[in-house]
Amino acid sequence: MASPANVMLAIQEKKPCSTVDLYHPLRQYVANHYSEREAESLEGDFQFLQQLRSEVENPPDGSPERRRDYLQSYFRALCLVESRFPISSDPSHINSVSFAWFDAFRPSRKAVQTSLHLEKAAVLFNLGAVQSQVAVAADRALATGIKVACSSFQAAAGTFAFLKDNVSVKAVIGPGGSAVDMSTECAGMLERLMLAQAQECFFEKVITDSKSPGLCSKIARQVGLYYEEAHKALAAPPLSTHFERTWISHVQLKAAQYHAEACYRYALELHDKENIPEEIARLKVGLSALADAKKSCKGVVAALLDTVSKLESKMNVSLERAVKENDRVYLMRVPASNSLSTLPAASLVKSTHIGEVLDASKDRLFASLVPDSSAKALSRYTEMVDDVIRTQAEKLQQGSEITRIKLKEMGLPDYILALEGSLTLPLDLKEDVEAVQVSGGPSGLEDVLQQLRDLRRVNQELIVQTEGLLQKEAADDAQFRFQFGSRWTRPQSSTLTKNLQDRLNKFAGNLKQAADTDARIEHALRAHSALMTVLNHYPVESVLPSIARPIMSLDGNEDAIVGALKQSLRQLETVGAQRASLEDMLKEMKRKDDILPKLMARTGSLEELFRNEISKYDHICEEIGKNMKAQEQLLLQIQAQNDEFTSVFNLEDYKVNRDRSYKKIAAAVEKYREIKENINEGLKFYITLQDAITNVKQQCSDFVMTRNIQCKEMIDDVQRKVSGFNFSGVVKADRYPLVGNPSQKKSIPKPTQPQVPHTFQPGHPYSTLYPYPPEQGSFPKPQ
């Protein structure tokens, strides 16, 4: 079975049950069917083939790379043997050769067959296993190691794909027992698993290279998809009862891990874009996937569990941060998980095509045994088959295209759907409407407007609070100046706070202009609410017009006309489904069409053989002709029925009303987007302005605190002078002695006009929504 290494799986090789003697049976066959002289001339080939088999059984060099070379050489040799020696259970063939292999995942089970298909499948399986071992053994901490691992995993995937597509079907079931580990299901699962691990290598590389979260998310999502496909195969018969539970648990947890990893990386990108609500939703989806997988994953290696736990901790930290920011700043609705779009995925790996590596056409083993004319004859037959397949496939595709064009010209089946009230929107318009409804629709705009009002109120309160700080300080200063007269020598507050007050006034002006813009947005919402109401209908198709039945009917046969037309359309649909089935049958016949054994044993005319073999396709060609004829007749019948249908029902008025409805819905979508965009810009404006006002408020607080300290010390100094207790002589206006300690002086900073930084920098041009002050040519900035 496979063993985990660095939480990746390597496949162990199948073991042969016994040594196989290929030398004597094959030599005897040549001597009997050709001549002893021919057998002697092929002596070296027989020995070489036996040596290759021995190297596969007991490799002289046990390194994975050398075992890979032995297996590739032996597989090419088997392809050459298969085309020249009829090894099977047929009494007329070489039936003294038996191949037996233990199951790779259930070593107590074995499969035994007198067929080269089993031997070839076992060699391919071991080739894929060895390549997976090379990949797992690579040091992925190094760049070269990641490259070797990724390349080897893709080569392993290509080998298992080749096994599935070319050998598995012939090798799985035989009189000597089934070989589940070489079945199409198992080979397909192993291909997905190898691709998952190859893609995982790319993920490790982009993380090491500190690539963008968006790219990391796409790569991680594809890793998860590959693991999900492998897990789906493992969870279904026959693999579900063949593999140990730890295998299934490992793959299941890996799938959940990389689904969560994709959500986490995508959430990081959303945070940078300030899309906090979707960030929260994505993190919750990922954490839910991890929690579900951990419940059923027992026996998983500790290293994988540790990796998953660390990922879970990081996601929880990000989720807590995002929730706090949304609650305190953004106040946005978190979308439901089922409303989220599918995470984008990017596959950077593919199964390596190994056909060239396993191509035996250039090998000279047993080359003298079969003349080149036989190979050329087989190629000629293949061309004949390809020509039949291509011609018939073109007919089928042409039939489908004719049907599509004819029905579109007649407006079918749209008119029938409209009559029944089941008409759907054009695809692009339907997607636009769904996007609007997912984002809350027109009914949700009022909630977002309320957020706009709340933010405006918060900014107004901040300005009032900040102005209050300055007014209180100025009032205190005026009171003491009146009380102490000329002895109160420090500068007046108004000379120091002019810059701050100007800034606050401009902020207030900005807010007033923004309030006007808010009012225009609210007016636009009220003015167009009737237009946008159509987007609140679920489904929106319910507002589309239907075809009205005639008010007066002479014979009352409208239902019969509609019924006949619908019946003909159903028959046409059936004919179309038959075309798809016929095309699949063509491909399957070609895949199974193997005349090589007959060609090798043929002593008569090859032309006769070709005629007999190609005639297998006559029946399906006849069925395709019948299908095309039936379609032609149905289209003529539907045309006549549709003419009768259009003469009874008023389609012109319907088409006008339908097009008007489409335009109305499109206009509603456009107006919704416009208003929603304006509101979003307003939210950004108020949030940015709030930061700027908060900054100025802090400057005012610092200024007031400094003035209060100076005020206290100046009061003490004036009172000492009045009482005759001036211990410091002449005191400068900006330095005052500390009370109770004549020898110690404390330096108090002289209050000046605070320099308020220009922190209010808009990210977008909002002049069309929130007008600038007359003296500014850009978005209003706090001064």
User: pLDDT (tens digit, 9 = 90+) per residue, 99-156?
Assistant: 999 999 999 998 888 888 899 999 999 999 999 999 999 999 999 999 999 999 999 9
The per-residue pLDDT for 762 is 39
User: How far is it, in rounded angstroms, from Cα 295 to Cα 308?
Assistant: 13
| Pick from 136-145, 368-377, 431-440, 465-474: least confident | 368-377
User: How far is it, in rounded angstroms, from Cα 727 to Cα 100?
Assistant: 113
Closest listed residue to residue 11, CA positions, set 189, 204, 168: 189
- When pLDDT is cut at 50, 70 and 90, the band that residue 597 belongs to is low
More reliable by pLDDT, 732 or 210 = 210
DSSP H or E stretch at residue 283: helix 276-296
Residues 6+ apart with CB under 8 A from 744: 737, 738
**Mean model confidence pLDDT for the chain:** 84
C-alpha 18: how far from chain center: 47
pTM of the model: 0.52
The per-residue pLDDT for 732 is 40
Residues 6+ apart with CB under 8 A from 722: 487
Say whether 716 sits in a helix, a strand or coil: helix
Considering 15-19, 226-230, 322-326, the range whose residues carry the highest mean pLDDT is: 226-230
In DSSP terms, 87 is beta-bridged to 94
User: How far is it, in rounded angstroms, from Cα 708 to Cα 702?
Assistant: 10
The per-residue pLDDT for 592 is 84
Report whether pLDDT(451) > 80. Answer: yes
Report whether pLDDT(213) > 70. Answer: yes
Mean pLDDT, rounded, for 635-644 = 89
**Two tokens, residue 778:** 């850009």
The helix, strand and coil proportions of the chain, stated in percent and rounded to the nearest 5, come to 70, 5, 30
- When pLDDT is cut at 50, 70 and 90, the band that residue 780 belongs to is very low
Mean pLDDT, rounded, for 157-181 = 81
The per-residue pLDDT for 704 is 93
Q: Which amino acid is at 122?
A: A
Other beta carbons within 10 angstroms of residue 420's beta carbon come to 13
User: How far is it, in rounded angstroms, from Cα 397 to Cα 390?
Assistant: 11
Share of residues in the chain with pLDDT > 70 (%): 86
Cα distances from 628 to residues 385, 389, 576, 756, in angstroms, run 21, 16, 10, 82
The per-residue pLDDT for 79 is 85
More reliable by pLDDT, 678 or 542 = 678
